[in-house]
Amino acid sequence: MSTHEPVVRVEGVSKIFPRGNVVALQDIDLTLAPQEFVSLIGPSGCGKSTLLRVIGDLIDPTAGTVTINGKPARQARSDHDYGIVFQDAVLFEWRTVSKNIALPLELLGWDRARRKARVEEMLELVELQQFGDHHPWQLSGGMQQRVAIARAFAFEPALLLMDEPFGALDEMTRERLNLELLAIWQHLASTVVFVTHSISEAVFLSTRVVVMSPRPGRIAGLVEIDLPSPRTAETREEPRFFELVTQVRELLRLRGEHLLPEEEQLLREAAE
Amino acid sequence: MSPRRSLEWLPAIVVFVSAIAIWDLAIRAFNIQQFLLPTPGAIISSFWTERHTLWPAGWYTFKEALGGFVVGSLLGMATATVIGRFKVIGVAILPLAIAANAVPIIAFAPIFDVWFNPLSPHSKMAIAGVLCFLPVMVNTLRGLQSASPRQIELMRSYASSDLEIWRRVRVPTALPFVFTALKVASVLAMIGAIVGEYFGGSFNALGVLINSDANIFNFERAWAGILVASLLGLALYAAVVATERVVVNWAPEYRDS
Amino acid sequence: MTNASVRRAAGRSLAVLALLAALLVFWEVYRWVWTSAGWTWPFVVTDTSMPHVWTIAKAFGQPAQVNQPPLITVLLHKALFTAKEAAVGFALGAVIGFTLGVALVHSRTLQRGFLPYIVASQTIPILAIAPMVVVWVNPKLPSNLQGWGAVAVIAAYLTFFPVVINTLRGLQSADARALDLMRTYAASRWTVLWKLRVPTSLPYVFSALRIAATACVVGAIIGELPSGLQSGLGGAIINFNQYYSIEPQELWATNIVAAALGIIFFVTVVAAEKVIVHRAPEVPT
């Protein structure tokens, strides 16, 4: 992978959902450099999840193009260039934790020995070594998400798409998983697109925060996060952290308007 | 079985023993005519003494039921698989198939006898098969259609083909549904075979035997025959449940142990 | 009814008619292919084993026996008779099943004690015990209920099982947090039952009633067989079965009416559910 060629290039992407004529995204331009950690943040209905899915070629844009590693999004998907994590873990109930992590590897045709080795690596990475033979329902929500993350990183994709992966967890688990995620990110030198509702999470994790606003969905502003790396639990207590959080919050308040409940509902339905 | 598990069976055993005791007492006390309901003792003794007649007859009928169960269920699963590949057809057919399930198949028993020699086991197998086909087909279809959209989205992010999605998501999701239907079908198969025999069948068959015993007022053996039929139906049901435990060990019902 | 639901209903009726038409066409095509090719598997196709569609249709309009009303009229009367048995059996079985479910939900011990036998009861072939039920029940009934009353009991026997099982499941399916809430109101068991458990159980109960709708018709027809009742469809089946080699179309006509009866019961329950619960039936599991 070349060093300065953008990993993700979003150009003029618009998405209109026919039902309700909802303009979920309008003319989005965004470029991601390698190894960036970019958060998408905004109120409900600003299109952040939609944008994530357009990047992942899970939704077709109405206009505009998405290029990943120089390829069109569709090809990037068939070439398995990215991994994805959803808000709920989306594990397969009928597979053990190990087999869940192994799923993409099976699909990629890895042989058994290689799969086994990689699964063990990933279990260590997310600190679930004892739980390989457990079934998903035997694990807590936080543990399930760690399995989902292990699965997403299992084949070491260069790009990771994450849709509010920690949204359903309590704050303490969230903060712990944030640190784990950063460690994995740096260890594997991936690029991450991270959708979140939480301003402090966005600032804590990212190198850059993209603030979006709804009606229609568009980019309201960008905030470069110049906090030192690697981030630690103490980073949340630094003055610069609060400044950045405030900056993002102001941007949200000024540009992020609030939707009427009916519009929110329409957007939510359209996104499903 | 652990001591705790065996304790769970205690109430059922108590009920069973009490029921038998009450049954026996009631018959003696109220002098209920023996031809309606013999004492449990009489039935058991007939069950034992006539076992050389009853069990072969039961086995004969059981084979009819088993054959119908296997063929009907396999056909049901196959049909559902084929229909399930074409989403539009599946959605349209499901309510119709559910309504078709409301047809009393048993009314067609005499016609099956005409088609397949009434003395041959095939006519009863056909009834059992038809009875099993619909519930299995309906439930398999429903199971295949109930895969979580998120899981399918995940598979699409891996650029999986439709066949892979079918194999890795839809089929495992459908399994609990299939087994629910198989449990129902296992009971229906035996009953279908016996009811089919009412309209005529080989003298080797249990249903015919029970019927003729009732007609000549040999109620002890008739009830013993019913006991055999019931046990065989339960055996098939238990076999399905045991298989389910192994295949679907991840299902919610087995979690809280 | 909204425009969309009217359109959906029209679409569905069209689909049903199309399916029936396809079935008739398939029937005749199958007949033609098998008779031309002379195949004997799975069974030999003759005018007796597979009468023409129009033969059966014509049979509806003609009397089955000399000096009798047309077959369709006769069959409709018999269908009504069977329907009466089925409906009473349905009501009886539903009430008993629901009551049993309510009785069992409060005690795991009772459940463990009785559920295995409730399940096992369904493995007893009702046809075998039907004659005994008939002989036992009939004398206990007032004379105007005799005969068909026993058949209704048999229909109830087939009905109560799905209702018990599903009522129990439904009553148990109340959210644990909702139960806790009721606890904070110091609600009595009775209150919890009627204000929380029963409403929660409705989808499950209706799912069972849909199965029961079919079961009661089957039970009624089967119950009539050993009772020797001439007035119902079961009696017609036995009758026409005897004449099958001469007049096969009459048995077919009877079966068509029986099938229609089963479907009508089922559709009625589905419609009732829509009205009572104000929404489409849940997918039963």
Over residues C116-144, the pLDDT tens digits come to 888 888 888 887 778 777 777 777 778 77
Q: How far is B17 from chain C (nearest CA, A)?
A: 11
Q: Is the Cβ pair B194, C265 closer than 8 Å? A: no
| Mean per-residue pLDDT over chain C, rounded | 83
Residue C81: pLDDT band by 50, 70, 90 thresholds?
very high
Q: Return the minimum-mean-pLDDT range out of B39-43, B229-233, C183-187.
A: C183-187
A130 in B contact zone (CB under 8 Å): no
More confident residue, A167 or A6: A167
- Model confidence at C56: pLDDT above 90: no
Under 8 Å between Cβ of A132 and A58 = no
Candidates B9, B10, B96; nearest CB to C15: B96
Average pLDDT, chain A: 87
Give the minimum alpha-carbon distance from C24 to chain B in angstroms, rounded to a whole number: 15
State the smallest CA–CA distance between residue B152 and chain A in angstroms.
Answer: 10
For residue B63, pLDDT over 60 is answered with yes
Position A19, amino acid: R
| A258 backbone dihedrals φ, ψ, rounded to 5° | -95, 135
Q: CA Rg, chain B, in Å?
A: 22
Q: Which residues, in sequence order, are bridge partners of residue A15?
A: A25
- Contact criterion met (CB < 8 Å) for B150 and A88: yes
Instruction: Report the amino acid identity of residue A175.
Output: E
Res A258 pLDDT > 60: no
Is B160's CB within 8 Å of A107's CB?
yes
Quote the CA–CA distance of A165 and A86 in Å, as a whole number.
5
Least confident stretch, A93-97, A109-113, B84-88: B84-88
Q: Which two tokens stand for residue A48?
A: 């952040």
- Taking CB atoms and an 8 Å limit, are B234 and C123 in contact across chains? yes
Which chains would you list as touching C if contact means 3+ CB atom pairs under 8 Å? Answer: B
Question: For residues A223 and A248, is the Cβ–Cβ distance under 8 A?
Answer: yes
Q: Which helix (H) or strand (E) holds B32?
A: none
* CA A71 vs CA A6, A36, A63, A81, A147: distances in Å: 11, 19, 17, 10, 29
CB contact under 8 A, C125 and B187: no
Band of residue C68 on the pLDDT scale cut at 50, 70, 90:
confident
Q: Which chain B positions have a beta carbon within 8 Å of C122's beta carbon?
A: 187
> How far is it, in rounded angstroms, from Cα C265 to Cα C86?
9
Distances (CA, A) of C187 to C103, C180, C197, C201: 18, 10, 13, 19
Whether the link from the prior residue into C63 is cis, omega within 30° of 0, is no
ipTM confidence score: 0.77
At A85 the three-state DSSP class reads strand
CB atoms closer than 10 angstroms to residue A170: 10
Q: Mean pLDDT: which of B124-133, C16-25, C186-195 is highest?
A: B124-133
Instruction: Kindly provide the b/e burial profile for residues B215-248, where b requires at least 16 CB atoms within 10 angstroms of the residue's own CB.
Output: eeebbbbbbbbbbbbbebbbebbeebeeebeeeb
